[in-house]
Amino acid sequence: METPKMKVEIWSDVICPFCYAGKRKFEAALEQFAHKDALQIEWKSFEIDSAIANRIEPGMTIYDYLAKKRNVSYEESVAMHQTAVNMAKSVGLDYNFDKVVLSSSFNAHRIIQLAKEKGLAEAAEERLFHAYFTEGKDIGNPAELTELGKSIGLSADEVAEALTNEYYTERVKQDITDAQTAGVRRVPSYVIEGNYEAFGIQEPHAMLAFLQNAFSEWSQQKNNSLVTALEGDACTIDGDCT
C-alpha cells in the first residue's frame, strides 16, 4: 500500500514578484522539514492581472503600467519596483524590471498545466519565473514558450498542443475556480489538505513552523476547517502587490 502524503497546494503566478521570492523561502523551509518526503506538492495556476493584455499600450514599460494602474507617478512606480528588487536580492534572485516584457501569464499557465502531467511543474515554475523576472522573455509569446518548454524537457509539439488544446485552458480555469472555492484571494498561497492556509511571502522559520504544525495535525486527522495560520506580502487577483 502506498504511504499517504500530506497535500500542499501552492497557488502562484509567474508574474508575481512575491511568488518567486516566496518560492525560494519555501524551499529553504523544506530543506529543514524532517518530513519533506511525505509531502505531495501541487502547483496551481492563478492570475494576478487577468486583464493585463487589454491594458498594455505600445512601448509601455512595467513602470508605466504600474504608474497608470495605481495612479502614481513614474518615479513612485520605479521606487516600488526597487523594493521588489531588494527583496529578491535577499534570497539570491536578480529582478531586472528594466527588461521585463509586459504580458498575460495565461499561456505560461497552460505550459505549467502540461508540465504537471509530466512531473515537471516545479521546473516549469522556476524556468518561467527566471525567464520573466531576470531574462526579460515574453512569456505570452508561443515561440518563446516553445524554447522555454524545450529547456525543461517538453517537446515543441507538446508545447503547441498545450497552447491550442482547450483542455489546458480549462485546467488553468479550474485552478482559478479552485482558488475561489478555497478562499484564496492573493498569492503566493499555500493550502495544506484544504485545512491550513499561509498566504504571502514567509520567512523560512515561519513556513517551517507552519508545515510542522500542519503535519502534526494531519497525522492525527483532527482538523476539517480552513485556518489561516500565516499572512504576508502578496499579490491579489486585482494585481495589487503590497
Would residue 149 count as lying in a domain? yes
What's the confidence (pLDDT) of residue 1?
60
Distance CA 30, CA 22 (A): 12
pTM score of the predicted model: 0.91
| 185 half-sphere exposure, CB direction, 13 A CA radius | 5
Would residue 176 count as lying in a domain? yes
CATH of the domain at 22: 3.40.30.10
pLDDT tens digits, one per residue of 140-184: 999 999 999 999 999 999 999 999 999 999 999 999 999 999 999
Instruction: Give the CA angle between residues 46, 58, 94 to the nearest 5°.
Output: 50
pLDDT tens digits, one per residue of 179-209: 999 999 999 999 999 989 999 999 999 999 9
pLDDT cut 90: percent of the chain above it: 88
pLDDT tens digits, one per residue of 28-72: 999 999 999 999 999 999 999 999 999 999 999 999 999 999 999
Number of domains into which the chain is organized: 1
What's the confidence (pLDDT) of residue 237?
65
Mean pLDDT (the chain) is: 94
Would residue 241 count as lying in a domain? no
Would residue 80 count as lying in a domain? yes
Distance CA 146, CA 58 (A): 24
What's the confidence (pLDDT) of residue 229?
59
Residue 233 pLDDT > 90, yes or no?
no
Q: Which residues contact residue 39 at a Cβ distance below 8 angstroms, ignoring those fewer than 6 apart?
A: 5, 6, 7, 8, 30, 33, 211
Residue 46 C-alpha cell reads as 492563478
pLDDT cut 70: percent of the chain above it: 94
